[in-house]
Structure 1
Amino acid sequence: MAETPIRKTSLERLEYAIIVSTLLFLVVMTVQPLLNLLAISFSDPTNVAGMNGLTILPHGFSPEVWSLLIQHPQVQRGVINSIFITVASTVLGVAFTALMAWGLSRPNLPGRRFIFILVLVTIVFEPGIIPDYFINKRLGLLDTYWAPILFKLVNAWYLIILIRFFEEIPSELLEASELDGANPFQVFWTVVLPLARPALATITLFYFVFHWNEFFRAMIYLNDQSKWPLQVVLRQFVVEGDKLMIVGKDASDSYSGASQINIRALKAGMILLTIVPILAIYPLILKFFTKGTMSGALKG
């Protein structure tokens, strides 16, 4: 017997319409600037000057801007450096954060409360850039990739997230693993980490976004331009304009044509180049957010 559909009242339909309209408005407000940048970067450079901030379609399709950006050595090195620094920082950050969080989540850890207070102190009293710079200088990390990689290797906020998550894991699962003969590392690797996939996915995304967007420390610690991440290249391009694209090139070099490309189109392309990796990683991480914390135990 078919069920009778529940009819919505006029107030419920109005509320639904308001919610949908608000969400659509927010989507348009979020996507429109990206479409505007995309349209400017793919437009004919001679038509860019007449485009406003609401344009979402190219004015005369031309891949000239992207061809210049993709082939330019400075941009290529910046992309490679950003990927290396971000991936290394994220992998090390998640690993050390998970290990430290697991230790601090154990109630029998000696000095646990004192260590946790020290973690909270780093949130309230964050070290300044000057002592941070001198520490890196004394350790010989200036002009090396380790300077931006080791910056905030363990983020206190992300550490607290994992500590609270680990504390919610049922002790019965841990005790059962120990009775089966598993050592502490095996318990952590085979039981705790599979259960913590949603939390680990969350802090992985946080670490990735943080290190990908970080440019200030890299700008200070890295004087060697060949080690600049893409964000520093973008910052220098915004400051110097098309000089960054043609500096050090021969007159016969194809990059000398950068001065004929509208600077606004180049900026739009550079901005999109720094945004695309973040947009690409979100779908890969979001699938873990919907999984329950007990999925690992069920699969085991």
Structure 2
Amino acid sequence: MSTPSTSEAELVRSEEAVPRRSHLDRNPWWGDLIIHVVLVVLGLVTVLPMVNILARSLSTSASIAGNPLMLWPTSLTMEAYLYIFETPVLMRSFGITVFVTVVGTALNLFFTTTAAYGLSKTYIPGYRFLMWLVIVPMLFGAGLIPTYLLLKGLGLINSIWVLIIVGLVSPFNLILMRNFFWSLPAEIEESARIDGASDLQVLWHIVLPLSKPVIATIGLFYAVAHWNDFFTGLFFLTDSSKWPLQVVMRSIIIDQSMLGMGGGNAPNQDLQKIVVSADNIRAATIIFSIVPVLLAYPFLQRYFVKGIILGAVKG
């Protein structure tokens, strides 16, 4: 009788060491059924309101009055969207929001990246004090009135730049990116410094190319925050000509003052009095405001989970 070789014996021991999953560890069929039913219900609760809004934006006012809970557009019309594109107030606010999102996200990433890279070096003098300067504002806020007085002293009230300067660096995003930089092997940077690279060269040529997942994740956080920012424009911008899209949407949805926004430039005004109503324009404005985020998210989704996991490895 031949004895098994060493490799075969090790393979047998490794297989025996792996715990086998018995039928007792699996969910019963009714448990899986309950889980799937709950997930389907939650999915419908999330999706159906958006489907209703989309259907209302593509239907006539008479169809909406007859069936407000529609899930499919009836009497299909694009007049609400044509009205939006011909309305100066909405298009100006859309341009302001795009400018704030693009420029603000770029500045956010620049300052967050440079600060996070510096804080990832625990040997710098005053490291603990600097970390407390980041953590304390994340836990405690100064309040609305001190913030208003500060921005007024800086001359940012009624300036578009207040939408960018406020929240220029998020402490949560800073710590997340700092943890990612901290998790990178130190040997990579040491080898570059031996070759004569400076700190900026190491950051630009080595650290940033390895940090695409976390940069995409933090960039998505900042971009969505800028796009959906409502309170900053509401509190610090009294000039309605500088309002971002979300503040204008609030005026449309709550104040219901939208049919006069187009002025004399609104197309087919006689037809719109019949076809387009406040419900049409409210629904079309909501869809109009979320489409850019929906278009950008699929391209960044593959970085999203990876960036969060890698940024939370250390800390």
Same fold judged by TM-score > 0.5?
yes
Closer, same or farther in 2 for the Cα pair 1:76/1:248, shift >3 Å?
Answer: closer
Closer, same or farther in 2 for the Cα pair 1:289/1:235, shift >3 Å?
Answer: closer
> Which letter maps to 2:158?
D
Name the residue aligned to 1:192: 207
Name the residue aligned to 1:81: 96
Name the residue aligned to 2:189: 174
Q: 2:171 aligns with which of 152, 156, 164?
A: 156
Matched, 1:249 2:258: no
> Which letter maps to 2:267?
S
> Which letter maps to 2:170?
N
Name the residue aligned to 1:287: 302
Q: RMSD value over aligned CA atoms?
A: 2.6
Matched, 1:108 2:123: yes
CA distance in 1, matches of 2:255, 2:35: 45
CA distance in 1, matches of 2:221, 2:229: 12
Name the residue aligned to 2:311: none
In 2, are the aligned partners of 1:249 and 1:255 still within 8 Å (CA)?
no
Write the deviation string for residues 4-63 of structure 1: whole angstroms up to 9, x where unpaired: xxxx9995766655555444433333221111111000012211112233x210121111
CA distance in 2, matches of 1:253, 1:292: 45
> Which letter maps to 1:146?
W
Q: 2:242 aligns with which of 214, 227, 251?
A: 227
CA distance in 2, matches of 1:245, 1:81: 21
Closer, same or farther in 2 for the Cα pair 1:130/1:255, shift >3 Å?
Answer: farther
Q: Normalising by the residue count of structure 1, what TM-score does the alignment of the two structures yield?
A: 0.86
* Gaps in structure 2 of 5+ consecutive residues: 1-22, 309-315
Q: Normalising by the residue count of structure 2, what TM-score does the alignment of the two structures yield?
A: 0.82
Closer, same or farther in 2 for the Cα pair 1:247/1:269, shift >3 Å?
Answer: closer
Write the deviation string for residues 183-240 of structure 1: whole angstroms up to 9, x where unpaired: 1001011111112111111111111111111111112222222221110110111232
Write the deviation string for residues 270-299 of structure 1: whole angstroms up to 9, x where unpaired: 111111122111111112236689xxxxxx
Closer, same or farther in 2 for the Cα pair 1:177/1:225, shift >3 Å?
Answer: same
Map 1:111-130 → 2, pairs under 5 A = 111-130=126-145
> Which letter maps to 2:44?
V
Name the residue aligned to 2:9: none
Name the residue aligned to 1:39: 55
> Which letter maps to 1:245?
L
CA distance in 1, matches of 2:145, 2:278: 35
Higher-RCO chain (CA-CA 8 Å, sequence separation at least 6): 2
Which protein shows a greater Rg?
2
CA distance in 1, matches of 2:223, 2:305: 20
In 2, are the aligned partners of 1:142 and 1:222 still within 8 Å (CA)?
yes
Closer, same or farther in 2 for the Cα pair 1:76/1:112, shift >3 Å?
Answer: same
Residue 110 (structure 1) shift? 1.1
Name the residue aligned to 1:3: none
Q: 2:73 aligns with which of 54, 58, 70?
A: 58
Write the deviation string for residues 73-92 of structure 1: whole angstroms up to 9, x where unpaired: 11111111100011111111
